[in-house]
Amino acid sequence: MTIKALRSAFAIALVSGSVVLSSQAFAANDAMLQLLDVLHANGTIDTDAYSVLKNYVAADKERTMAHIDKVASDEVAGVKKVTDKMAWASRVKLKGDLRLRRQWENVDNSSDPSRVRYRYRARFGAEGQVIDDVSVGIGFASGGVDPRSTNETMDDNFESKGLVMDYAYAKWDATDFATLYGGKMKRKPILWAPTDLLWDGDINPEGVAAHLHTKNGMGKAYANFGHFFLEEQKGDSDDQNLTFVQLGQKFKFGDVFGNVAATYYAFDNQEDASYESGVSAGTNSLTGGKATYEYDSYSLAAELGMKLSSGKMAAVFGEYIKADDPSDDETGYALGVKFGDNSVKKFGQWQVKYIYADLERDAWADIFPDSDRCGGGTGFKSDEVTLKLGLAKNISVGLDYYDSECENYTGGSNEDSKILQADLQFKFK
């Protein structure tokens, strides 16, 4: 065998082995073709060997690319399979909060006027997209059957606490200007109120509702409609319901913002109704143990604020209600002012708020007002001061003080009720 033949055989073996290794490691076939060109040019391999090796490298390149394509295709299919399985997560939003509270209260004319309780509130909820314009919200909260409280008191020797359905609703964004709700829903998206004079913040009504809105030259006009189910009477068609209509306008001019709304409430079969035990505060007028009035009423509400150069805001707000039924024109109102950040979500943000509220005995049904004013009843005059401060993102501390004069309907003198709540709150979403 000549030296040239030996060199050719060695080169063929070298290149073949390199091709195999390069195939395993996905080496660059273009670099191998360049090496063959150099070996052929300097005479290390002859033309026949060059042709054979070049064809081999080209075929190997095709096999390598085909293998890469298959691997890539399998990987993409695997990723798509996993993505499809986890697609539900992108359609579900989770959120919740935990509030720890120390509550001091003092009520005159009682055998033990002063009381301190340590309480907590835990809430967890999810909203999932069913299809593009339909979603479902489900939420759970601590507490019991009281619709005006999700608090649990720390007592009873570490007993396990209750968990209840806080809301369960379906929402349909029917058009760009209309959203429909059904089920046990959150109140604020479908019924605006700047104070808790009429509605305790924990109440989530049950029924059907609609929110309509459209933009105009001042901001956004809106209309809210709802039909809420209060009591279903077994064996009796006279169920208690509440229907409302609210018309409002949000506006903004430069740094000035506001909201005004008028609402009419129409009750069904509220007169002569017997309230479920534990729901009524027992302050409305009764005849033979049943409600004397129907409590149809209308309400006006407004808020006017301004963004300040410091980045804070200042606003005044108020609410008024007048009942149709009582002959002495029972009314109620609340006036308030707030200053600071619009909401407290981060470290250093804060807000101070003051509300004066006055609600006569039969101006409104005593199953809805804020439970911290005279036990949720009607017939009171009350001052409320709140302070909220952000400690970190989604962590805040707050103080809420009520000083109320509660009307006594048994002939005795009115009672003074004082409550101070110190809260530490954590949120996640």
Q: What is the pLDDT of residue 334?
A: 98
Q: What is the token pair recorded at 166? A: 């806080």
Please report, for residues 98, 374, 415, the alpha-carbon distance to residue 382 in angstroms, rounded to integers and kept in the order given.
28, 9, 12
Q: Which candidate, 159, 164, 137, places its Cα nearest to that of 149?
A: 164
Q: What is the pLDDT of residue 2?
A: 54
Q: What is the pLDDT of residue 261?
A: 98
Pairing assessment for the beta strands 178-184 and 206-215 based on DSSP bridges: antiparallel
Contact 168, 221 (CB under 8 A): no
Q: What is the token pair recorded at 240? A: 């208690």
Q: Which candidate, 357, 363, 373, 360, places its Cα nearest to that of 421?
A: 373
Chain position carrying tokens 């479920």:
276
Please tell me the distance from the alpha carbon of residue 125 to that of residue 215, in angstroms, as a whole number.
Answer: 31
Please report, for residues 117, 118, 274, the alpha-carbon distance to residue 155 in angstroms, rounded to integers and kept in the order given.
9, 8, 32
Domain boundaries, the chain: 3-85, 93-428
DSSP annotation of 270 reads -
Q: What is the pLDDT of residue 36?
A: 66
- Element of type H or E holding 361: none
Q: Could you tell me the pTM of the whole model?
A: 0.80
Contact 335, 356 (CB under 8 A): yes
Buried b (16+ CB within 10 A) or exposed e, 120-155: bbbbbbebeeeeeeebebbbbbbbeeebbbbbbeee
List, in order, residues 6 or more apart from 378 with CB less than 8 Å away. 281, 283, 284, 332, 359, 360, 361, 362, 363, 364, 366, 369
Q: What is the pLDDT of residue 19?
A: 45
- Element of type H or E holding 110: none
pLDDT averaged over 10-residue windows placed end to end, the chain, 429 residues: 51 49 50 70 73 70 69 72 72 95 87 85 96 96 92 93 95 97 97 97 97 96 97 81 97 96 94 76 86 92 95 97 81 97 95 98 94 93 98 97 89 84 96
Q: What is the pLDDT of residue 135?
A: 97
Please tell me the distance from the alpha carbon of residue 81 to that of residue 200, in angstroms, as a whole number.
Answer: 47
Q: What is the pLDDT of residue 5?
A: 53
Q: What is the pLDDT of residue 409?
A: 76
Q: What is the token pair recorded at 229? A: 């189910």
> Which CATH fold would you assign to the domain 93-428?
Porin (2.40.160)
- The SS3 call for residue 157 is coil
